[in-house]
């Protein structure tokens, strides 16, 4: 996992792109990851002012500070990642949303998806459509989620515990986000396999693991050959 300073990315994305030989292959995913600590809270407005006006508006729609912080971090990951990977800065009218609210960049071949949990944020980029999810494991009542999983999946969760729950949950969430319907899609309809899943015999490919105390998953309708992780730090 390559570690990049956020200011280097913001101010000299072209140099970063050349330094790390960023080049999309058809089955590659670039995943930007950051864990925001006290520093971003101390310098919140400093980082906020790097965003273009439209992204600022979206951050300020959240009333709770936790939600604003996560939204700010997600937007920074998108802004930085898009600049590094394409050499373009996202402009005011570039961001649009699909029928169910899934965002995309107008007239771009690059797809992206954002997720956050606790103080961890990821933003995935690919030529192909993708969904990403990150979850910070916590203490939960597994029995409350029986309807979310197939019988076989829930038996595995009961046997292996909360860690397996979060592993399975991120996979299902990533698939629902790739489709763009979020929680409108019943999670029990998603049947998980090893690095893959099916919905009515339609196949999705999944990559993911535990990283820095979080679980993350990436879902795509095409095989994912390489996941290249860039850790953005402050």
**Residue-wise pLDDT tens digits, 177-189:** 999 865 567 899 9
pLDDT (average), residues 1-19: 73
pLDDT band at 224 (very low <50, low <70, confident <90, very high): very high
| Cα–Cα distance for residue pair 75/114, rounded to 1 Å | 8
- pLDDT of 205 higher than 90: yes
pLDDT tens digits, residue range 23-70? Answer: 777 889 999 999 877 666 778 888 888 888 888 888 999 988 888 888
| Cα–Cα distance for residue pair 213/15, rounded to 1 Å | 31
Tokens of 230: 């860039």
Return the pLDDT at 58: 87
Task: With beta carbons less than 8 A apart as the criterion, state whether 58 and 71 touch.
Answer: yes
| Cα–Cα distance for residue pair 76/203, rounded to 1 Å | 32
| Cα–Cα distance for residue pair 91/54, rounded to 1 Å | 8
CATH class of 2-233: alpha beta
Return the pLDDT at 5: 81
Return the pLDDT at 39: 64
pLDDT (average), residues 195-201: 93
The four Cα atoms 1, 105, 8, 47 give a dihedral, to 10 degrees, of: -110
- pLDDT of 121 higher than 80: yes
pLDDT (average), residues 18-22: 67
Question: What rounded mean pLDDT belongs to the chain?
Answer: 87
Return the pLDDT at 32: 94
Domain residue ranges of the chain, discontinuous segments joined by +: 2-233
| Cα–Cα distance for residue pair 193/198, rounded to 1 Å | 8
Q: Which helix (H) or strand (E) holds 156?
A: helix 151-160
| Cα–Cα distance for residue pair 33/31, rounded to 1 Å | 6
Q: What percent of the chain is modeled with pLDDT above 90?
A: 47
User: Mapping DSSP to helix (H, G, I), strand (E, B) and coil, where does residue 210 land?
Assistant: strand
Return the pLDDT at 172: 95
Q: What single-letter DSSP state applies at residue 1? A: -
Any bridge partners for residue 114, and if so which?
123
Return the pLDDT at 30: 93
Task: With beta carbons less than 8 A apart as the criterion, state whether 127 and 24 touch.
Answer: yes
Q: Which of 52-56, 167-171, 202-206, 224-228 has the lowest mean pLDDT?
A: 52-56
Return the pLDDT at 160: 94
Tokens of 54: 């439209």
Global pTM reads 0.91
């Amino acid at each position: 996992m390559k570690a990049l300073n956020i200011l280097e990315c913001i101010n000299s994305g072209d140099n970063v792109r050349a330094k790390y030989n960023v080049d999309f292959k058809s089955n590659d995913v670039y995943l930007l990851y950051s864990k925001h600590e006290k520093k971003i809270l101390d310098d919140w407005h400093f980082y906020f002012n790097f965003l273009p006006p439209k992204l600022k508006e979206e951050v300020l729609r959240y009333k709770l500070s936790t939600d604003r912080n996560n939204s700010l971090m997600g937007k920074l990951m998108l802004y930085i990642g898009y600049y590094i990977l394409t050499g373009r800065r996202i402009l005011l009218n570039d961001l649009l949303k699909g029928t169910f609210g899934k965002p995309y960049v107008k007239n771009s071949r690059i797809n992206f998806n954002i997720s956050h949990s606790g103080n961890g944020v990821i933003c995935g980029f690919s030529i192909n459509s993708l969904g990403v999810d990150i979850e910070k494991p916590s203490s939960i009542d597994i029995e409350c989620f029986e309807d979310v999983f197939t019988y076989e999946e829930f038996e595995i969760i009961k046997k292996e515990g909360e860690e397996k729950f979060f592993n399975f949950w991120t996979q299902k969430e990533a698939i629902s986000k790739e489709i763009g319907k979020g929680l409108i899609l019943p999670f029990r309809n998603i049947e998980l396999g090893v690095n893959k899943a099916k919905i009515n015999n339609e196949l999705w490919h999944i990559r993911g693991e535990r990283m820095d105390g979080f679980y993350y998953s990436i879902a795509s309708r095409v095989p994912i050959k390489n996941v290249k992780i860039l850790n953005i730090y402050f």
